[in-house]
Amino acid sequence: MGLTLSSFVFPINLSRLIPKTWFLAYLCGQKEGVMAKDKRQYPRVEISWPATIITADGLVSCRTENLSPEGTLIRCSESPGSLDSFRLVFKPAERQLILATAEKVWSKSFDNNNGTSHAMGVRFTFIPDHDYQLIKGTVSQHT
């Protein structure tokens, strides 16, 4: 799945036009022309898994857009609220659930034809070792 804005603005595949780091810098609100150094130890791979944010107010359904052993980009159709730290459950295809504690690194809301969607970059603060190894293996298979 290529990086597109089709659900946001217009149907165009941006992955062939601009580097993903520029697009992510835009999502994070960076000024035009200013590139933040990517500090990730592990690469992220584009992978879409159903996920659920667990909050004191209830559950918020979302999907991963990319994943690394250190964090993920998730997109939700409803706002997860003003979270800083939360529990996150993933459901990889044909595998057990993955449970993690995560913190929000950045978030941004987008208006599109289907309403508003909410993107959030998160960093895992705790993940059981067997789940960490599963994510690490999945990432290495896709790189």
Alpha-carbon span 143 to 43, nearest angstrom: 8
pLDDT in tens, 64-78: 989 999 999 999 887
Domain ranges for the chain, please list them.
43-142
Contacts (Cβ under 8 Å, ≥6 apart) of 89: 51, 52, 54, 97, 98, 99, 100
Phi, psi (deg, nearest 5) at residue 20: -60, -35
Strand partners for 46: 66
Q: Which fold has domain 43-142?
A: Thrombin, subunit H (2.40.10)
Instruction: Give the pLDDT of residue 128.
Output: 93
Instruction: Give the pLDDT of residue 39.
Output: 56
Instruction: Give the pLDDT of residue 22.
Output: 46
CB-based burial label for 5 (10 Å; 0-12, 13-18, 19+): middle
CA atoms within a 13 Å half-sphere pointing along the CA-CB vector of 73:
18
Across 45-63, average pLDDT: 88
Whether the model pTM is above 0.95: no
pLDDT in tens, 96-133: 888 999 998 888 877 777 777 788 899 999 999 988 98
